[in-house]
């Protein structure tokens, strides 16, 4: 197992290739399912479940699925796991399922899942593909929860359903338009911080170049 690839795959979906804030995928559930933290978390976990297992099975079957019908096959695989999610939520979380069942069904055509199946799982081994599903799923869940926390705080004066004493409810902040504003602000903040981290990493790498060149020159002299 390539440790560098494992590390890159796992942290890719969380930071560098975050599906919500960097790749800007899955915008529909991002806005529709983040009015509360509970909805955001449930949507994120459901999507992550489908991502992990669809990636895994696409990878396992990548040499069997004919290239001409790969997209319909991916959708069949994804649909199977979406149905499992629907059955579990309907059985154990009926109230939550009733508020978001339309968007659970739409996970089938979520562009994050189709994109990872096509661009990653179809050309990587099962372990890496499952890890990519975990990474992308965690990145998506974290982004949705962050947006959900902000929206619920301003629209309902609460956190995870618990009212915050003394905080006034702001009219209009429960609308989708406010959701887009929160989404845009958090996206800008995330990418600003991400760029600062990347610039610092590159600067540190440039500082090590003279040392590497000196070591290389010393090796050449010794030869």
Residue-wise pLDDT tens digits, 119-145: 999 999 999 999 999 999 999 999 999
For 151, what's the count of Cα atoms within 13 Å in the CB-facing half-sphere?
A: 31
SS3 content of the chain, % helix, strand, coil (to 5): 80, 0, 20
User: Over the chain, what is the mean pLDDT?
Assistant: 86
DSSP 23: S
Q: Predicted confidence band at 17 (pLDDT cuts at 50, 70, 90)?
A: confident
pLDDT for 11 equals 85
Residue-wise pLDDT tens digits, 46-67:
999 999 999 999 999 999 998 8
Residue 176 has pLDDT above 90, yes or no: no
**Model confidence at 87: pLDDT above 90:** yes
């Amino acid at each position: 197992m390539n440790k560098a690839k494992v590390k890159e795959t796992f942290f890719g979906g969380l930071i560098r290739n975050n599906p919500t804030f960097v790749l800007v995928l899955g915008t529909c559930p991002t806005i529709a399912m983040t009015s509360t933290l509970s909805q955001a978390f449930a949507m994120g976990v459901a999507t992550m479940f489908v991502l992990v297992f669809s990636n895994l099975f696409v990878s396992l079957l990548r040499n069997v699925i004919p290239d001409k019908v790969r997209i319909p096959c991916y959708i069949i695989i994804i649909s199977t796991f979406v149905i499992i999610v629907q059955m579990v939520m309907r059985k154990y979380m009926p109230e939550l399922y009733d508020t978001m069942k339309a968007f659970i069904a739409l996970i089938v055509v979520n562009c994050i899942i189709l994109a990872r199946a096509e661009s990653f799982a179809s050309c990587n081994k099962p372990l890496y593909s499952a890890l990519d599903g975990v990474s992308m799923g965690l990145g998506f869940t974290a982004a949705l929860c962050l947006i959900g926390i902000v929206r619920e705080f301003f629209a309902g004066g609460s956190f995870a359903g618990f009212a915050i004493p003394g905080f006034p409810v702001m009219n209009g902040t429960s609308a989708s338009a406010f959701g887009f504003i929160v989404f845009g602000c958090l996206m800008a903040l995330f990418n600003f911080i991400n760029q600062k981290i990347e610039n610092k990493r590159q600067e540190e790498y440039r500082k090590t170049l003279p040392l590497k060149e000196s070591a290389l020159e010393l090796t050449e002299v010794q030869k």
